[in-house]
Amino acid sequence: MKRYWPLLLLALAVIGGAVWWNARQAEERRVEEELAQAQGIVRVLSATFSNKAALKVGEVKGTLDVTVVDPGAISLLRSSQKATLPYSVGYTLDLSQVGADDYRWDPASRALTIRVPLVTPEPPNVDEANRAVSGTSGIFVTRNASTNLARRASQLATAKAGEVAAEPANLAAAQKNAEKVVADLARAPLDAAGLGPITVRVVTPAAGVRDGERWDVSRSIEQVLADRQR
């Protein structure tokens, strides 16, 4: 019986080697499939986002009360005016800045994370056609003074509208809406590509820690899967 031990050990080694080899081949095939799937996702979304340099993702609007003064050529011609002007400021997101390094794909949970830039306010739009004047004062308001008052009211309202749009609460609301807009925008081409159910999460570089996971900015989808493949 002892003389058969070497043959038995050899057979076990061959079987073990075959099992290991098959497992390694299966793992390599799985990684290749993941890589191909991830690359496909990047291609699909890159094509979708490439031409969206000014995706509108929100708006803040309202009315502003302003008081302006025209000094006039002499003190007797000094005049002032109170006016209310409607305004609106849109927020846009430049998706053309999203590159391959801004995607993270988790094949286990079929979750895609997309990193997008911060939203930016558009130039304020002041509706001068619907300007309401609540009062004008001055001994004699010339036509030139009226023009100057209207121009200064528009300039002041524009500046104030920009300040409103830059308020942290308004920026945060626009950014939150941007995440929803981008997630919805991403799902359509992914569904059309037949990639199956995918969970899409959108974050910004400033998101930090979310849902207990730290955003890894060091490696892209392709780099992670290529490292695993090697």
Q: What is the pTM of this model?
A: 0.69
Task: For residue 129, count CB atoms less than 10 angstroms from its CB and return exposed for 0-12, middle for 13-18, buried for 19 or more.
Answer: exposed
- Give the CB-side neighbour count of residue 197, counting CA atoms within 13 A: 2
Q: Report the pLDDT value the prediction gives residue 92, as an integer from 0 to 100.
A: 95
**Sorting pLDDT into bands at 50, 70 and 90, what band is 173?**
very high
Residue 125 · residue 211 · CB < 8 Å: no
Contact 40, 192 (CB under 8 A): no
- Give residue-wise pLDDT tens across range 4-22: 566 566 566 666 665 555 5
Q: What is the CA radius of gyration of the chain?
A: 31
**Cα dist. 93→64, 70, 193 in Å?**
26, 39, 24
pLDDT attached to residue 30: 53
Q: Phi/psi of residue 44, each to 5°?
A: -60, -50
Dmax over Cα atoms in the chain, in whole Å? Answer: 125
Q: Residue 6: its pLDDT value, please? A: 65
Measured CA to CA, the distance from residue 38 to residue 19 in angstroms comes to: 28
Mean pLDDT of 88-98: 92
Q: Find the DSSP H helices in the chain.
A: 5-49, 143-165, 168-192, 221-229
Q: Do residues 84 and 64 touch, judged by C-beta distance below 8 A?
A: yes
Q: How far is CA 193 from CA 29, 184, 186, 190, in A?
A: 21, 15, 11, 5
Mean predicted lDDT score pLDDT of the chain: 76
| Average pLDDT over every residue of 66-89 | 78
Does residue 31 register a pLDDT over 70?
Answer: no
Q: Where are the domains of the chain?
A: 2-229
Say how far apart CA 102 and CA 39 lie, in whole Å.
Answer: 13
Token pair of 86 as six digits: 């409607």
